[in-house]
Structure 1
């Protein structure tokens, strides 16, 4: 199986290499994609995903934060069969948008986000209606920008995205881990759970 990995906002593919290496050690082929997260060229990025997919084996799409929303948009655009893309795993992804984005926009700081809100970061109501199995991993260590922006500290979060924002009706499974938004990427727990989800359509609880 092949796993294509997409990073989140303000990041570069390099940050996803440790996760990629752990997944390779579990027997997967991997490909990390890099894109400009504040000036997203949908045509170019979706073509990159197309070209990364293996034509001879099942593919899994894994995205951190905004990367998971990009994957959702890709599925909407391309409508791949489950033979081509079997599973999707999102890591700290606000799958129905992020309240922190609404807060930044209300503070007049929306320009910092570039065009990323157009790719799902804007809060919205939605369901997972794609045939691919979706597994969502959420962090619960609330250290990050939410506190700096004086947002609700009582809502369980990874410091950036709330746990509730990582849930969507229609997903196959959801699991939490005590990590911050960024440290989720480097957790040994995450690749093990991705592997388990791919083989069982559910996480190991």
Structure 2
């Protein structure tokens, strides 16, 4: 009877019979600060729990299809050939601290419609250091299959995580071509707000180790990306910006001046608050333009050449 129940919970037999952990195929509750994407294939994901270290397999609708060890979940993932990537150019969208994949709104879907294999990843941004998060991305990219090139779109601290990833010279660089990087509202020069809040215990509790690394002094130690990159800053377009506590124009959290980084291939300021700018229409089109041409605005050619 227990064996039969186990087969029901896991969706029946696939191939020859094997023992599996009982699983209710139900939608998950999210848990963006507890789960790290460790393997992507199409819209399916294998995630690792930040505390227990166990894994789960989610399908395209975030329904849990298996759990246990990484090997257990990989076996179940291999049963689903429909999970193969739809394009050879992967775009990873990396959210900021205390946020999740929903940061990017419809952008991943619009990029897929434009011919990219675009996926907004999840990582427990408040549960480790920037190096920890870069190492997670490194493992994920080392496991990627059926893609040739990888580009990145980031929001806020996600840009710092990808900068650290690119500086690590991981094994994935020998199998994947590095494309382009778009950083949206990144604290490239560090954040004066983070510096002011750093000593406060509520800030330390809520934002963890990574939150302590967003000061100007810490930011100075991160390498400049070695791939073409562009920066989109949020601002009001006035000397005061949205937040009177942030010097100069700003998006309410990060100053326009704090987003700048020498070597950028393009730079633009769009109206928008920090938490919402990554899903605005102007950002969506600009990101697509940069990933395809290396510029945020399309260059219109004269009809006579």
The 2-side partners of 1:103 and 1:156 are apart by 18
How many residue pairs match? The answer is: 197
Q: CA deviation at 1:117?
A: 3.7
Kept in 1: contact 2:235–2:272 (CA 8 A): yes
Equivalent position of 1:23 in the other structure: 111
2:166 aligned to which of 59, 63, 75: 75
User: Is 1:37 equivalent to 2:125 in the alignment?
Assistant: yes
Q: Secondary structure at the match of 1:11?
A: coil
Q: Secondary structure at the match of 2:143?
A: helix
Equivalent position of 2:155 in the other structure: 64
Q: Deviations over 1:119-156 (max 9, x none)?
A: x522133686433001000111444xx55xxx24x510
Q: CA deviation at 1:13?
A: 1.7
TM-score (norm 1): 0.83
Q: Secondary structure at the match of 1:114?
A: helix
Kept in 2: contact 1:102–1:122 (CA 8 A): yes
Kept in 2: contact 1:126–1:168 (CA 8 A): no
User: Is 1:46 equivalent to 2:134 in the alignment?
Assistant: no
User: Is 1:105 equivalent to 2:198 in the alignment?
Assistant: yes
- Larger Rg computed on CA atoms: 2
Kept in 2: contact 1:4–1:61 (CA 8 A): yes
User: Is 1:190 equivalent to 2:283 in the alignment?
Assistant: yes
Q: CA deviation at 1:46?
A: 2.9
Kept in 1: contact 2:164–2:222 (CA 8 A): no
User: Is 1:132 equivalent to 2:224 in the alignment?
Assistant: no
User: Is 1:11 equivalent to 2:99 in the alignment?
Assistant: yes
Give the direction of change, closer, same or farther, for the CA distance of 1:51–1:95 in structure 2 (3 Å limit). Answer: farther
Q: CA deviation at 1:110?
A: 3.8
Equivalent position of 2:80 in the other structure: none
Which has the higher mean CA deviation after the structures are superposed, 131-140 or 56-65?
A: 56-65
Give the direction of change, closer, same or farther, for the CA distance of 1:51–1:137 in structure 2 (3 Å limit). Answer: farther
Kept in 2: contact 1:128–1:171 (CA 8 A): no
The 2-side partners of 1:81 and 1:87 are apart by 16
Kept in 1: contact 2:167–2:223 (CA 8 A): no
The 2-side partners of 1:136 and 1:126 are apart by 19
Kept in 2: contact 1:96–1:168 (CA 8 A): yes
Give the direction of change, closer, same or farther, for the CA distance of 1:166–1:27 in structure 2 (3 Å limit). Answer: same
